[in-house]
Amino acid sequence: MDRWGMTILRGAVAIVFIWFGALKIFEVSPAGDLVAATVYLVPADLFVPILGVWEVLIGLCLLYRPLIRVGLFLLFFQLPGTFLPIVLLPDVVFVSFPYALTVEGQYIVKNLVIIGAALVIGSTVRDDYRGHREESPD
């Protein structure tokens, strides 16, 4: 697990972002309508594909070790917006507030796992930069 865990975690998060982003770019994302209903300031037909490109960039950055910091930076600007429907569209997110989620609500809440994964990935960036892992004191 120590040998492959971080690589697999980075790869898994990257695949999710590339896949979900590509769906938005090609206008076949099941989340496209939810994003469009949440964003008011920018036309949805412009915003959703741009968000898709942003997500693909996050994924690609996570795959290429020198760009992990850039990917995490982009990710931490993107993720807060994913929680907006909880506030702006609670009827779409909850069957029964505050505990029974719709499928859309579950899709949103799973981002908590991505936040945790991003924090774990980010915790290794300094180690990667130095070229070694620091041993924790006993």
Instruction: Please check whether residue 12 lies inside any domain of the structure.
Output: yes
| Tally of structural domains, the chain | 1
Given this model, what pLDDT does residue 102 score?
A: 95
pLDDT of 3 reads 92
For residue 6, give Cα distances in angstroms to 10, 13, 47, 92, 122: 6, 11, 32, 35, 10
Reduce the secondary structure of 43-74 to three states and give it as a string.
CHHHHHHHHHHHHHHHHHHHHCHHHHHHHHHH
Distance of CA 14 to the CA centre of its chain: 9
In the prediction, which pLDDT does 134 show? Answer: 46
The answer to whether position 138 is within a domain reads no
Q: How many whole angstroms separate alpha carbon 104 and alpha carbon 101?
A: 8
Is 137 within the bounds of a domain? no
Q: Which residues pair with 33 in a beta bridge?
A: none
Rounded to two decimals, the pTM is: 0.87
- Evaluate whether residue 136 is within a structural domain: no
28 within a domain of the structure (yes/no): yes
Domain assignment present for 48: yes
pLDDT in tens, the chain (138 residues): 989 999 999 999 999 999 999 999 999 999 999 999 999 889 999 999 999 999 999 999 999 999 999 999 999 999 999 999 999 999 999 999 888 999 999 999 999 999 999 999 999 887 655 555 544 444
Structural domain includes residue 81? yes
* Domain of 40, in residue numbers: 5-130
pLDDT at 133: 52
> What H or E segment, with its residue span, contains residue 96?
strand 94-96
φ and ψ at residue 95, rounded to 5 degrees: -80, -40
- With respect to residue 60, please indicate whether it lies within any of the assigned structural domains: yes
